[in-house]
Chain A
Amino acid sequence: MSDVAIIAENIAKEYRIGELQDSYRTLRDVLAGAALGPVRAFRSLVRRGRGVPSANEIIWALEDVSFEVKNGEIVGLIGRNGAGKSTLLKILSRITEPTKGRAWLNGRVGSLLEVGTGFHPELSGRENTFLNGAILGMKNAEIKRKFDEIVAFAEVERFVDTPVKHYSSGMYLRLAFAVAAHLEPEILLVDEVLAVGDAAFQNKCLGKMSDIAGEGRTVLFVSHNLPAIKNLCNRAILLDAGTIEREGDAAQVVQYYLQGDYQSSKKVWAKQERPGNDSFKLNAVSILNTNGEEVSTVKLSDPVTVEIDYEVLQRGAYVAFSLVLFDPDGQVLFGSVSNTEKNYYGTPLDSRRYKSRCVVSGDLLNTGKYSFSVIGFSANWTDHFRVDQVVSFEAVDDGVLRGDYYGVFGGPLRPKFPWETVAC
């Protein structure tokens, strides 16, 4: 028995521009081609890509990624959006193939890229448990054996025969995670599933993850939750633009990541790569000062404006956003939801471009690098997507709150509160 769980050797993955979205084309092109050259038309039908692309059509989502994971290690995979973390996990989960390179996985693999894959709202909790278990690769007998345990872990005993469409979102998530948590693979690949749910649920998930690790199983874990990476993982790999930027002790890699210039004050997406759903897509997210100028540094006493520029694709779509602010240690500070905007929230929108702005008041934050995640929602808080830590800014001390004090202000906040003293 070898002590190596995962070996990845020169893994590379190529996407053609636009392949991630709307990449299917019409048969008309092929049929028109068939009239001219039947042989070539047949080739184009069986060709798995889309012909020989020119160099500027290619995006290497991953390039020359090589690493090893030992048995029983928990390795965190970090990096900003689009760095290739999820692509790497998809390749190791065999969902998509690498364009080049090889990988060996030495053991039964379980991958958890999403909780509740295949859950159907019309089916009961019991039915979904069996279905989801089968989808995740569990044997029927195995699910039967663990069924009571799964239901107890999810705390849904009383509702086990109720269709999950009547579940609260918390119950739904707990059940979905419970099924996945009872998968017993030797190698577990996990993608950002902890980003959902309330704090109690997240703690439960993290607890389960460390249990899994305690049992000597191997975990490869993608997350933006940097404190969790620091606490849970022995080792971390930092991916940047598809290559390994740094690898080593988790705390050190996280520190390096936080200090590096991996984030910026403006993010613009190319048309084909815009995040979103069928109703709307993001064009850009940027940080502005009070004059509406893009800035990467903001004085502590000045407000910070986050502007989300997006395009509504379906007329009549309902759109809402949630902004999440992360402190310089990567901890969530707070979230703000756009449902407080009275004349706009709950109004069906035209299919056109919009800009939504949120102003975070001045005299609130401490110094350091803060970043925002954006979560977009369609109607009824369903069909959401998120872009993690998409923009960031440096909060710099303008001395207003400091006065003649030259010591340290602890904590992620440095709010301005009134002081009042009276003589008695």
Chain B
Amino acid sequence: MTLGKTAPSLTHPHQVLIEPTRGWASLKLRELWQYRELLYFLAWRDIKIRYKQTALGLLWAVLQPFLTMVIFAIFFGRLAGMPSDGVPYPLFAFAALVPWTFFANGLTQSSNSLVGSANLIKKVYFPRLVVPISVVLGGLPDFALSFLVLLGMMAYYGVYPRWSLLGWLPLLLLLALVTALGVGLWLSALNVKYRDVRYIVGFLTQIWMFATPVVYPASLLSQRWRLIYSINPMVGVIEGFRWTLLQTDNAPGMSIVISALTALVILVTGTFYFRRMEKTFADIV
């Protein structure tokens, strides 16, 4: 067969060329965009199923961070007398737990997403990036609900946000999302090959929480350590939440820039790593 002659005559707009990829694969973001409806449907399915069979339904989205807050308030706030930047401790903790829960759930679920969708991956073609992305996006409604509860608590304690700075909130949320997705991309691809990743994830999020000012204020650390500390993108996110919503004093400033840069690096490397490993997924998942 002389393909050199026949191949160019295939002029169909939907022409597909199949060949082994060599080296690092391109990201194919355009194709990802074409599959945005699938992205939406998978996220929608996850949300729907998550609450369909639970007695408390959507309430779980709120209960998880809320009960954690209650426990933290008792042990860290009351018993240990943890400082909280002049804000009532329950509010101080909850303002951190709302973005933290979104981040930690997104991270955990996206890490397991490929293995969990093995059946889909083995039977249908679509850009595999859709799977972890849809999972992280699926956490947004939960976030929105617990955010409403946070607003309620603020009203209860009579704490008002810095109105002029509320525009930062979506950007901070985006930062949490990018970080969760970036780490999730790394871990989900690794999880296909090494199933121990599943066990690491729970451990990782636990340690990560203590490396993030969730139960304590970042102001406990000396200024010198603060910048290094901000390499953890969630530091920027949570400091930012408290700064805009609870009017705490320490404006994130430089630390948010560092946080954003780290998050971006994780996301970009994660995406490339994911794309590189992608072609093996269907064979080994």
Contacts and interface: CB of A to CB of B under 8 A. Distances in A.
To the question of whether A and B form a pair in one complex, the answer is yes
B6 A95 contact: no
B78 interface: no
A19 B283 CA distance: 7
Interface stretch (B37-45, B163-171, B201-209, B215-223): B37-45
Interface in A70-124: 90-109, 111, 113-114, 117-118, 120, 122-123
B243 to A, nearest CB: 38
B46 to A, nearest CB: 10
Contact of A104 (B15, B20, B276): B15
Contacts, number: 151
A25 interface: yes
B282 to A, nearest CB: 4
B274 to A, nearest CB: 11
Centre residue among B6, B9, B192, B284 by max chain A CB count within 10 A: B284
Chain A interface residue bracket vs B:
35 or more
A49 interface: yes
A102 B1 CA distance: 12
Contact of B190 (A45, A95, A135): A45
A30 B190 CA distance: 12
Contact of B124 (A24, A111, A120): A111
Contacts of B282: 90, 95-96
B280 A49 contact: yes
A91 to B, nearest CB: 7
A145 to B, nearest CB: 14
Of B122, B276, B283, most A-chain CB atoms within 10 Å: B283
Nearest to B24: A46
A392 B199 CA distance: 46
A134 B279 contact: no
A249 interface: no
Nearest to B117: A118
Given A2-B10, A108-B14, A130 B193 contact: no
B123 A46 contact: no
Interface residues of B, number: 50
B194 interface: yes
A7 interface: yes
Given A46-B273, A94-B125, A111-B124, A23 B20 contact: no
Nearest to A114: B123
A66 interface: yes
B190 A118 contact: no
Given A7-B1, A26-B194, A26-B195, A104 B17 contact: yes
Contacts of A120: 45, 49
Contact of B6 (A4, A23, A26, A27): A4
A28 interface: yes
13 contacts: A26-B194, A28-B196, A45-B190, A68-B1, A91-B18, A96-B282, A97-B20, A98-B18, A102-B18, A104-B16, A122-B48, A127-B48, A134-B41
Interface of B: 1, 3, 6-7, 9-12, 14-21, 37-38, 40-42, 45, 48-49, 52-53, 119-126, 190, 192-197, 200, 273, 276-277, 279-280, 282-284
User: Top 7 nearest A-B pairs by Cβ distance?
Assistant: A94-B125, A134-B41, A27-B194, A103-B18, A102-B19, A106-B10, A105-B16
Given A19-B283, A106-B14, 14 more contacts: A7-B7, A24-B193, A26-B195, A27-B196, A27-B197, A68-B1, A102-B18, A104-B10, A104-B16, A123-B48, A127-B45, A134-B41, A135-B126, A140-B37
Interface of A: 1-2, 4, 7, 9, 15, 19-20, 23-28, 30, 45-46, 48-49, 66, 68, 90-109, 111, 113-114, 117-118, 120, 122-123, 127, 130-131, 134-137, 139-140, 186
